[in-house]
Chains A and B, each alone.
Chain A
Amino acid sequence: MDTLAMHISNGIIDGPVAAIFAAFALAVLAFCVLRGRRDLDDRLAPMAGLVAAFIFAVQMLNFPIFTAGVSGHLLGGALAALLVGPWVGALCVAVVLVVQALVFGDGGVAMLGLNITNMAILGTAAAYLLIALLLRVLPRTTAGLGVTAFVAALVSVVVASQGFVLQYWLGGTADLGGNLAGLAGTMAGVHLLIGIGEGLITATTVVTVAKVRPDLVYALRARKPAVPAPAVPTAGGLR
């Protein structure tokens, strides 16, 4: 269940760098808490919980790549950004990481700052910036939303993996010398493949949700007549 690629274990990055990133992650999360409180209403609270549970389940799917002892998994940052917005989304991914580190020993506790920076902050931020851009550029159709979700998920995974390369460059405990470029290449290649899988899952999920309950997709809230889909009245939808 543990992966080097995304869930950095204790001892891979040295202490000072881990401390700096922990402080950075803490500051950003504090900001997310402030902004997220404004977003979190009756509809978003259960959604945030479900998104976190979904990400938790999805991160169990792991792809080992034995050549370099690197493995990776799906992240869920783009899904979170689409469904609950960037602030609550980052918090969802962070909660998943904290619970995994505390309860499952997945990713070192002392490295939580690094893991949160990569997956919760970098991944979600990259995804949300792309979503904001693409939703404006692409046609307002289901296909447009699907493409947006796919691209955002793909890019966010690769960006998160490069976050690890940056951290290893700053404070890797073993000097790889000229192999750092190799590490960056391996990580990017592997995560491109993972990103495709992540993109497909994110796109199918978001498109299905947008078809049936467009009110649940945070990214579509700004524009009302977004995806032309019949609103199906459901028990939970009457409020």
Chain B
Amino acid sequence: MGAGHVHVLYRESASPVHRLAPEVKIAAMVLFTVAVVATPREAYWAFGAYALLVAAVAALARVGPRWLLSRALIELPFVLFAFALPFLGTGERVEVAGLSLSVDGLHGAWNILAKGTLGVLASLLLAATTTTRDLIVGLDRLRCPQILTQIATFMLRYLDVLVGEARRMRVARVSRGDDPRFLWQLRGFAAGVGALFLRAFERGERVYLAMLSRGYTGRMPAVWQGAGAATAGQWMAAATVPLAAATIAAVAVVLR
């Protein structure tokens, strides 16, 4: 579990975006998303411009469009809600292919689709270029309270402990003659969930005490932080994306 905590979405590479300090990327991503959400929904061209911006960053980060779009499918459940809106909405209605659709509902659906997709793509780009460890370092440098980064650090460590314990318990069950299939696995799992929690806790507690005895004070040592803090140049470089997005949003608001 000490192996860098690389999560499933991380794409190993040495692109300029990967080399940026994590705090810079987090700030840029959050500001970009806020600009997108603040854009009036009737400004269709603005969303096209945002998509180009995302595509440019993706190209710079060497993340392929196929990888990005297939991962973006996690937003599918809420897309279903968006498709229901034209039927549920009230007010003025239009006929499209024989169906009576609400104009307001159509706008609402477009709004959710466009802003949701851009938000998901932005966070996927952050995830693809930043390890979880760097993410916590970045949050720490952005003056996130230590109690929060501490909980996040332990959460990411214990996720591995939890998965490992669950696997060991399943192997133990199977080797004692249990033959779980499909949904019936859930029954064995439900019966063991309390035991899983305790076992994971006791293992995690030992890890924590070992950390304490080696001088842990609530913050990870400097070695752990890998790359140094962001330079002014890095802030300037990363600021181009949210600045461009903010300009687009401002123009869209003025033109409305």
Are chains A and B native binding partners rather than an unrelated pairing?
yes
A56–B159 Cα distance when bound, in Å, is 8
Binary per-residue interface labels of chain B (149-176) against chain A in the complex, 1 for a CB within 8 Å, 0 otherwise: 0111111111101110000000000000
Q: Do residues B112 and A173 form an inter-chain contact, with CB atoms below 8 A?
A: yes
Q: Do residues B135 and A174 form an inter-chain contact, with CB atoms below 8 A?
A: no
User: How many of chain B's residues touch chain A, expressed as a range?
Assistant: 35 or more
* Segment touching A, from B54-62, B103-111, B221-229, B238-246: B103-111
Q: List 22 A-B contacts (CB under 8 A).
A: A12-B112, A33-B147, A45-B150, A45-B154, A50-B204, A57-B159, A70-B81, A95-B152, A103-B127, A104-B127, A109-B34, A109-B119, A109-B123, A110-B33, A110-B34, A174-B107, A175-B108, A179-B88, A201-B190, A216-B201, A236-B205, A236-B209
The residue in A1, A95, A176 that gathers the most chain B C-beta atoms within 10 A of its C-beta is A95
Chain B: minimal CB distance from A209 (Å): 6
Q: Do residues A95 and B148 form an inter-chain contact, with CB atoms below 8 A?
A: yes
Q: Do residues A2 and B78 form an inter-chain contact, with CB atoms below 8 A?
A: yes
* Segment touching A, from B13-21, B177-185, B192-200: B192-200
A1–B119 Cα distance when bound, in Å, is 15
Q: Flag whether B38 is at the interface (Cβ < 8 A).
A: yes
Q: A222 contacts which chain B residues (CB < 8 A)?
A: none
Q: Do residues A174 and B77 form an inter-chain contact, with CB atoms below 8 A?
A: no
| A183 nearest CB neighbor, chain B only | B88
Binary per-residue interface labels of chain A (86-116) against chain B in the complex, 1 for a CB within 8 Å, 0 otherwise: 0010011011101101111110111100000
Chain B: minimal CB distance from A50 (Å): 5
Interface positions, chain A 9-26, Cβ under 8 Å from B, are 9-12, 15, 18
A161–B146 Cα distance when bound, in Å, is 30
